[in-house]
């Protein structure tokens, strides 16, 4: 019957869109058969497998070997030549399946598999709130507040830039506006402070009326000068220095301890004139709680980590936004909150205080609740800043940093760090005029989808093999600087693995790991799209 059909000329408008002539396909994936003609009166044949079906948009498994595919439309015939190959899975190989907007079937040969899902750009259905909660981590894990960044996306150019030039002297007194961390929209505190120290790179201010000692404040300032400053400026650059004293001001306020909402914060409004109820202090400032007991959230180590975190905010705001304002650019962008916070948490790691800052807890929290979090979008509870997202971004940015080469330490002076490629990547990211998720891939040099897919694949590989164990430690603080999900030394657990019945709508730019499956006989496996529009990959890692 096939040989009697009329051959269609190359000039005719009918053509086979898929499969593509000359391509090689795999026998474990259904092949899509469609033409450019809007009709259902189509019959498909294979010289090897015979009649395949009779509609446009057919999806069929083909056997291994060479196939001549015939498309028959109203007595006319079009053909393509394809080759179907048997897939020989290797240990640890990831089998990629793109779902798009529909379900999909794949053939799996006998073996043990670790399925996982990667969702990329797109939008899921309305997310059901799993719990009524405004907090997604233990209350003792206090956030560092990056004030005002959350509410502003662009800064319009005006004449409000502060340009006070002053040098402060020890014993000098000054009133500071201190944001109420438990009610940031309310009028701030106004408290009189005294400058008790002026060192090479910072000034230290404490309340005139106080009931605490200054020993721990002196110690954390010493750590800044000897450890944090040389490292943080090497990695990120410098703060704005709007008063041109060459120093950053540290303001230690007991109101932060009392309100129990934060450990410290940076307020970019301080770089602008005090107009329109701005409550700017018109200085380069980072605010901290008073350091106290070792076991407290306000311990000396925790305050030191917060120092690295908040100074990073000050430097990245200067590099990404404030410098462009000074240059007269219009509609200057601020970095997205999820990147801004992720970079500051990464900075704690790289300065040697990531464990002191609680980053292990943030990362662990994400890994135990991966289904609830997108790396760059709102979480399942509608929050655009959360402990889980911070842990996710800290883990991802750390992976990118070390994948780019990371850094090393000077053999003779381990305080000094040397760039091996990772620092260059971070500086290019914060100096870029662009912002957001896609910009990470642009600066790295690969599409963000490709980077994210490889990142999730490496996490899933940790389920079948231990991977790297000797993660790097800081030679001075002895804390880890290199983080991934299989670090038994600090009890970082692998991500939670879900059952199919637990899956609801999947967030964009997220990952889900499923229970491993064992297949005794080759069978067809149905991959479900959980109400997602966009690119979603349902992959398998083959272990044996």
Residue range 325-352, pLDDT digits in tens: 988 888 888 999 999 999 999 999 999 9
Say what the pLDDT of residue 162 is: 62
Q: At residue 268, does pLDDT exceed 80?
A: yes
Model confidence over 490-511: pLDDT tens digits? 888 889 999 877 877 788 999 9
SS3 82: strand
CA dist 335 and 540 (Å) reads: 35
Say what the pLDDT of residue 146 is: 53
Instruction: Report the first-to-last Cα separation within the chain, whole angstroms.
Output: 45
CA dist 502 and 519 (Å) reads: 22
Model confidence over 274-309: pLDDT tens digits? 775 678 999 999 999 999 877 788 999 999 999 999
Q: Are 103 and 518 in contact (CB under 8 A)?
A: no
Q: Is 235 left (phi over 0), alpha (psi -120 to 50) or beta?
A: alpha
Residue 37 per-residue DSSP state: S
Least confident range from 136-145, 210-219, 413-422, 463-472: namely 136-145
What pLDDT band is residue 405 in, cutting at 50, 70 and 90? Answer: very high
CA dist 529 and 392 (Å) reads: 23
Q: Are 362 and 313 in contact (CB under 8 A)?
A: no
Say what the pLDDT of residue 111 is: 84
Count of helices and strands (H, E) across the chain? 11, 28
The dihedrals phi and psi of 493, each to the nearest 5 degrees, come to -85, 155
CA dist 76 and 37 (Å) reads: 13
Q: Kindly state the percentage of the chain with pLDDT values over 70.
A: 86
Q: Are 223 and 407 in contact (CB under 8 A)?
A: no
Q: Are 291 and 220 in contact (CB under 8 A)?
A: yes
Residue of higher predicted confidence among 135 and 308: 308
Q: What is the mean pLDDT of the chain?
A: 85
The whole-number average pLDDT for the span 194-213 is: 94
Model confidence over 28-56: pLDDT tens digits? 888 999 998 877 788 999 999 999 998 88
Q: Are 391 and 459 in contact (CB under 8 A)?
A: no
The H or E element that residue 6 is part of is: strand 6-7
**Preceding amide of 469 cis, omega within 30:** no
Q: At residue 101, does pLDDT exceed 70?
A: no
Say what the pLDDT of residue 266 is: 95
Say what the pLDDT of residue 466 is: 64
Tokens for 86? Answer: 């048997």
What pLDDT band is residue 543 in, cutting at 50, 70 and 90? Answer: confident
The two beta strands, 248-252 and 202-207, are: parallel
Who contacts 270 (Cβ-Cβ below 8 Å, separation ≥6)? 162, 280, 281, 282, 283, 284, 285
For 343-367, b where at least 16 C-beta lie within 10 A, e where not — what string?
bbbbbbbbbbbbbbbbbbbbbbbbb
The whole-number average pLDDT for the span 120-131 is: 47
Least confident range from 30-44, 72-86, 110-124, 139-153: namely 139-153
Residue of higher predicted confidence among 418 and 274: 418
Q: At residue 195, does pLDDT exceed 90?
A: yes
CA dist 204 and 223 (Å) reads: 13
The whole-number average pLDDT for the span 464-473 is: 78
For 56-90, b where at least 16 C-beta lie within 10 A, e where not — what string?
bebbebbeeeebebbbbbeeebbbbebebeebebe
CB atoms within 10 A of CB 101: 12
Q: At residue 418, does pLDDT exceed 80?
A: yes
507-to-15, 527, 532, 535 alpha-carbon distances in Å? 38, 17, 8, 12
The whole-number average pLDDT for the span 128-146 is: 40
- Beta bridge partners, 117, equal 512, 538
What pLDDT band is residue 6 in, cutting at 50, 70 and 90? Answer: very low
Model confidence over 221-260: pLDDT tens digits? 999 999 999 999 999 999 999 988 899 999 999 999 999 9
Say what the pLDDT of residue 24 is: 93
Residue 184: how many CA atoms within 13 Å on its side-chain side?
14
376 CB burial (10 A radius; 0-12, 13-18, 19+): buried
What pLDDT band is residue 158 in, cutting at 50, 70 and 90? Answer: very low
Long-range contacts of 290-299 (CB under 8 A, 24+ apart): 290/212, 290/216, 290/217, 290/252, 290/253, 290/254, 290/256, 290/257, 291/216, 291/217, 291/219, 291/220, 292/212, 292/216, 292/257, 297/140, 297/141, 297/142, 297/263, 298/257, 298/263, 299/356
Q: At residue 525, does pLDDT exceed 90?
A: no
Q: At residue 147, does pLDDT exceed 50?
A: no
Residue 141 per-residue DSSP state: S
SS3 402: helix
Who contacts 83 (Cβ-Cβ below 8 Å, separation ≥6)? 23, 24, 25, 65, 66, 67
The dihedrals phi and psi of 187, each to the nearest 5 degrees, come to -60, 130
């Amino acid at each position: 019957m096939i040989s009697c059909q009329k051959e269609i000329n190359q000039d005719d408008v009918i053509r086979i869109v898929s499969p593509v002539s000359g391509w090689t396909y795999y026998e474990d994936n259904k092949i899509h058969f469609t033409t450019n003609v809007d009709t259902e009166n189509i019959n498909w044949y294979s010289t090897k497998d015979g009649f395949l079906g009779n509609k446009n948009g057919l999806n069929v498994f083909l056997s291994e070997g060479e196939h001549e595919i015939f498309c028959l439309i109203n007595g006319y015939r079009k053909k393509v030549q394809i080759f179907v190959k048997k897939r020989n899975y290797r240990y640890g190989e990831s089998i990629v399946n793109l779902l798009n907007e529909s379900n999909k079937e794949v053939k799996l040969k006998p073996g043990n598999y670790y399925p996982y899902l990667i969702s990329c750009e797109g939008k899921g259905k309305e997310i059901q709130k799993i719990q009524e909660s405004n907090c997604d981590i233990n209350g003792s894990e206090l956030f560092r507040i990056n004030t005002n960044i959350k509410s502003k996306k662009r800064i319009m150019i005006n004449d409000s830039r502060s340009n006070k030039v002053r040098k402060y002297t020890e014993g000098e007194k000054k009133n500071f506006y201190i944001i109420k961390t438990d009610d940031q929209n309310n009028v701030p505190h106004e408290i009189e402070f005294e400058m008790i120290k002026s060192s090479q790179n910072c000034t230290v201010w404490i309340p005139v009326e106080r009931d605490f000692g200054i020993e721990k404040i002196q110690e954390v300032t010493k750590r800044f000068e000897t450890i944090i400053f040389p490292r943080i400026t090497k990695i990120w650059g410098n703060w704005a220095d709007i008063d041109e004293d060459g120093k950053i001001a540290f303001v230690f306020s007991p109101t932060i301890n009392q309100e129990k909402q934060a450990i410290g914060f940076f307020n970019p409004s301080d770089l602008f004139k005090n107009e329109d109820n701005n409550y700017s202090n018109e200085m380069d400032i980072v605010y901290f709680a008073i350091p106290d007991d070792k076991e407290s959230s306000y311990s000396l180590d925790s305050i030191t980590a917060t120092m690295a975190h908040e100074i990073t905010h000050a430097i990245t705001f200067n590099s990404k936004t404030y410098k462009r304002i000074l240059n007269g650019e219009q509609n200057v962008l601020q970095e997205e909150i999820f990147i801004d916070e992720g970079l500051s948490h990464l900075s704690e790691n790289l300065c040697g205080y990531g464990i002191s800052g609680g980053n292990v807890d943030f990362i662990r929290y994400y890994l135990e609740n991966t289904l609830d979090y997108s790396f760059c979008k709102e979480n399942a509870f509608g929050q655009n800043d959360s402990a889980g997202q911070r842990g996710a971004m800290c883990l991802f940015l750390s992976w990118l940093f070390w994948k780019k080469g990371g850094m090393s330490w000077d053999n003779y002076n381990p305080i000094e760090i040397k760039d091996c490629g990772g620092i260059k990547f971070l500086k290019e990211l914060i100096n870029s005029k662009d912002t957001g998720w896609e910009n990470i891939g642009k600066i790295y040099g690969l599409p963000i989808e490709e980077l994210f897919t490889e990142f999730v694949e490496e996490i899933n590989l940790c389920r079948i093999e231990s991977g790297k164990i000797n993660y790097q430690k800081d030679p001075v603080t002895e804390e880890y600087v290199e983080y991934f999900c299989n670090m038994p030394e600090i009890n970082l657990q692998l991500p939670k693995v879900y059952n199919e019945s637990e899956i609801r709508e999947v967030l964009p730019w997220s990952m889900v790991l499923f229970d491993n499956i064992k297949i005794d006989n080759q069978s067809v496996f149905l991959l479900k799209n959980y109400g997602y529009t966009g690119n979603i990959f349902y992959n398998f890692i083959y272990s044996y």
